[in-house]
């Protein structure tokens, strides 16, 4: 809510998505997930957009280890949106590289 008492619906939607992602990560990875930040990613191939959206970085703590993961929801050809998770490691060190990795797996 801003100073005028209006609600920023985009921020509310983002908070809901972050919470859904956090819960899903904690269930799947049996640890504590902490939201760090989100950035827009725009991937193009031959000047055509192949993916556009926000990628969220979380830290997962489990049994004394800490790992970072990039997450996002992706439209599926059929059915509900898919929840994508790519661990930050090696050459996958940016949100854009995580998306490129995921796109490569789907080809």
Percent of the chain with pLDDT over 70: 86
Residue 86 lies in a domain: yes
Taking residues 24-42, report their average pLDDT.
95
Which tens digit of pLDDT belongs to each residue from 63-98?
889 999 999 988 777 878 888 999 999 999 999 999
Check: CB of residue 19 under 8 Å from CB of residue 25: no
Q: What pTM does this model have?
A: 0.82
- Angle at the Cα of 67 from the Cα atoms of 61 and 68, rounded to 5 degrees: 115
| Residue 86: partners with Cβ closer than 8 Å, 6 or more residues away | 69, 70, 71, 92, 98, 101, 102
User: Is 57 a residue whose pLDDT tops 80?
Assistant: yes
Structure tokens at 4: 């005028």
Please state the domain count of the chain.
1
Residue 107 — pLDDT band, cuts 50, 70, 90?
A: very low
Which pLDDT belongs to residue 3?
Answer: 52
- The answer to the question of residue 66 being in a domain is yes
In a domain, 1, yes or no: no
Domain range for residue 67?
A: 9-106
56 in a structural domain:
yes
């Amino acid at each position: 809510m801003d100073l005028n008492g209006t609600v920023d619906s985009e921020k509310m939607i983002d908070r809901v998505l972050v919470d859904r992602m956090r819960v899903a990560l904690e269930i799947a990875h049996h640890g504590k997930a902490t939201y760090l930040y989100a950035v827009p990613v725009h991937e193009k191939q031959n000047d055509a957009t192949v993916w556009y959206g926000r990628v969220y970085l979380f830290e997962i703590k489990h049994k004394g280890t800490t790992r970072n993961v990039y997450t996002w929801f992706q439209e599926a050809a059929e059915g509900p949106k898919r929840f994508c998770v790519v661990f930050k490691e090696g050459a996958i060190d940016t949100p854009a590289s995580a998306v490129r990795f995921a796109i490569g797996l789907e080809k």
